Amino acid sequence: MLSNKPIDMHAVQVFVAVAEEGSMSAAATRMGISQSGVSQIIRQLEDELGVVPVNRTTRPMALTPFGIALRNRGTVLSEEIANLKAQVVEAGRGIKTDLRIGLVDSFASTCGSVFTKKLLGKVSQLSIRTGLSPQQGEALLRRDLDLIVTSDPLTDANDVVRYRLFSERYCVTRPKNLRTPVRTIDDMKMLINSLPIVRFNRTSQVVEMQIERYLRRIEIRAPARLELDNADALTSMVTEGIGWAIISPMCLLQGVSHAGNVAVHVVETLGLDTRPRAVAVPRGAPRRIQRVLRRCLRDGARSDRNIVPAKADCARRRH
């Protein structure tokens, strides 16, 4: 009968030694206990699991299918336990910690390397997940991530602390061979009559909702003819003369392979709210994570922040 008692991890380590050494006597020598002690531990493990992991009737000893599964998983757990003490001691001393972060795609492909480089020197292990802002926000709230860089304001999340990095002003991109200047909202209304607008689709809801609300406010109404889910593809469509788009400088940098073939306009009277980028962490996050974040923002955010204004200034000078 299967016992509800938690599995003794020392017993698992002993079993892994038996599986790897091929005999109980060799495992006893490796673990520094008697052979009878090894035999007793294996029997106790059988009682706890309710299965027979070792076939004792064969020579040499063989693992059953249950034993193979236990050896495979037990080896991983044994290695983690072996590293556990050192990791706990380091975390307690505030030396370094493990960190799971989420980066919105446009930030990851443009500023992510700078941000990551700053973090690597402050953590023992870094796990990075890239994706769209809404999915990153959901992962943060589930505590699957320790911090995220996002453009999602997370206005409904009360248990999140936000640290502002920088803001972006949306700009207008059009095909380079189209000589129509775009300096005012009236110019945009003229543009919509000659070319369709290329949109982000609903999976990029943070960006698209902001843009669509603004277009309605300035009474620019255009049918949804072409929607895409990433900035690189969107910029390539503008390059080919298929349409024009409203895009953030960070997303334009993400489509850098095509950006040189589009005209970029910063419409001073556009009035579309700047798009903030922020780091978010769960309220009550461990102090070790807060310390790492503060050091990283202090040391590295200035490098990231200089990228976007430079791109916007370039757009102003050219157009």
**Residue 90's pLDDT band (boundaries 50, 70, 90)?**
low
Total domain count, the chain: 3
154 lies in the same domain as 239: no
Tell me which range, 26-30, 82-86, 302-306, is most confidently predicted by mean pLDDT: 26-30
131 lies in the same domain as 214: no
Compute the distance between CA of residue 247 and CA of residue 92 in angstroms, rounded to an integer: 45
The CA angle 266-268-273, to the nearest 5 degrees, is 90
107 lies in the same domain as 191: no
| pLDDT higher than threshold 60 for residue 206 | no
Domain annotation covers residue 319: no
Domain annotation covers residue 314: no
Q: What is the pLDDT of residues 212-229, one digit of tens each?
A: 777 777 777 777 778 887
Q: Which residues constitute the domain of residue 37?
A: 9-92
Domain annotation covers residue 118: yes
64 lies in the same domain as 37: yes
Q: What is the pTM of this model?
A: 0.54
**Residue 252's pLDDT band (boundaries 50, 70, 90)?**
confident
Domain annotation covers residue 4: no
| pLDDT higher than threshold 80 for residue 33 | yes
More confident residue, 127 or 212: 127
